[in-house]
A and B are shown apart, each in its own frame.
Chain A
Amino acid sequence: DTGVSQDPRHKITKRGQNVTFRCDPISEHNRLYWYRQTLGQGPEFLTYFQNEAQLEKSRLLSDRFSAERPKGSFSTLEIQRTEQGDSAMYLCASIQPGQNNVLTFGAGSRLTVL
C-alpha cells in the first residue's frame, strides 16, 4: 500500500450539481479524516471516522454534505447542490492510533464550482 488515495484529483462542476469524492486510506488505518482547504488558508477539519462509525462532524459540514465509510475501509464525501463557496481542496487523511499520532494525507481532490 503506497499511501492514501483520493479520486478524482480535480472536479469541475456547475452550481447545483452533486459531486462525490472517494478516499482510500492506508489499509491498516482504522481512523479516517476529511479536511477542507480553501485557497491561501490552512486545512479545516470536517469529520472523522473510527472504522465505519462517524464520530464527529464540524459545523462546517452543512446538511448538503454527507460522508460515509460503509465497511470501515474507503470513504466517500458527497456534496449536494454545490455552491461556488464549496470550491476548495478536499483532503483525506488516515491514522492507526498509537502510531506516533501522525496523520497521513492524500494528495487531495480539488473542486471548482462554476
Chain B
Amino acid sequence: SQQGEEDPQALSIQEGENATMNCSYKTSINNLQWYRQNSGRGLVHLILIRSNEREKHSGRLRVTLDTSKKSSSLLITASRAADTASYFCATDNTGFQKLVFGTGTRLLVSP
C-alpha cells in the first residue's frame, strides 16, 4: 500500500503563477524525493531532500521537509505550460531506494 498522500489531487493554474503541492507520509525516512511524470511516461527525478535537511532549492523548485509533521511541500515558481504533469513524492526509509510513492498531484498549467 502507498504511504504518501498528496494534496491537492489536482491543481489548475495560469502560466506565471506559483504551484504548491503537499505530501504527507507515515513513517520515519532517510530521504524524500519528488518526481514528475508526463502522461503515460516514466518518472523523472526532480529533487531529493535528506531527513536532516529542512529546505532545498533547485532552479524554480523549492522543497521543504518537516519531519516532526511528516510532511513535505514542493513549490514550483513562475510555472510554464511545460510543467503540466503529475508530481509524486516518494520516501525511502530503508536506504535501498525501495521508494514508497504518494498518490500524486496532477498539475495543469494553462498558457
Residues of B near A106 (CB, < 8 A) are: 42
Contacting residues of chain A (73-109) with chain B, CB-CB under 8 angstroms: 89, 91, 93, 95, 100-108
Contact partner of A44 (CB less than 8 A), chosen from B2, B35, B97, B104, is: B2
Residues of B near A91 (CB, < 8 A) are: 42-43
Contacting residues of chain B (54-111) with chain A, CB-CB under 8 angstroms: 88, 90, 92, 96-104
Indicate whether B48 reaches chain A with its CB closer than 8 angstroms: yes
Q: How does the 8 Å CB contact mask read for A34-64 relative to B, with 1 for contact and 0 for none?
A: 0100001111110010000001100000000
Indicate whether A21 reaches chain B with its CB closer than 8 angstroms: no
Which partner residue on chain A sits nearest B40 by CB separation? Answer: A110
Docked-complex contact A43 and B31, CB < 8 angstroms: no
Docked-complex contact B102 and A42, CB < 8 angstroms: yes
Indicate whether B33 reaches chain A with its CB closer than 8 angstroms: yes
By size class, the interface of chain B is: 20 to 34
Q: What is the predominant secondary structure among interface residues of chain A facing chain B? A: strand
Docked-complex contact B43 and A105, CB < 8 angstroms: yes
Docked-complex contact B4 and A42, CB < 8 angstroms: yes
Contact of A31 with B97 at beta-carbon distance under 8 Å, contacts A102-B48, A110-B40 already known: yes
Indicate whether B26 reaches chain A with its CB closer than 8 angstroms: no
Q: How far is the CA of A104 from the CA of B45 in the complex (A)?
A: 7
Docked-complex contact A41 and B48, CB < 8 angstroms: no
Residues of A near B101 (CB, < 8 A) are: 42-44
Q: In the assembled complex, how far is the CB of residue A57 from the closest CB belonging to chain B, in whole angstroms? A: 11
Task: With a 10 A CB-CB cut-off, give which of A35, A89, A102, A106 has the most chain B CB atoms.
Answer: A102
A-B contact pairs, 7 of them (CB 8 A): A35-B99, A40-B104, A42-B90, A56-B96, A100-B48, A102-B33, A107-B41
Point out residues on B near A: beta carbons under 8 Å: 2, 4, 31, 33, 35, 40-45, 48, 88, 90, 92, 96-104
Given pairs A40-B103, A42-B102, A45-B100, 10 additional interface contacts (CB within 8 A)? A33-B98, A41-B2, A41-B104, A42-B90, A48-B98, A89-B40, A101-B92, A105-B35, A107-B41, A108-B40
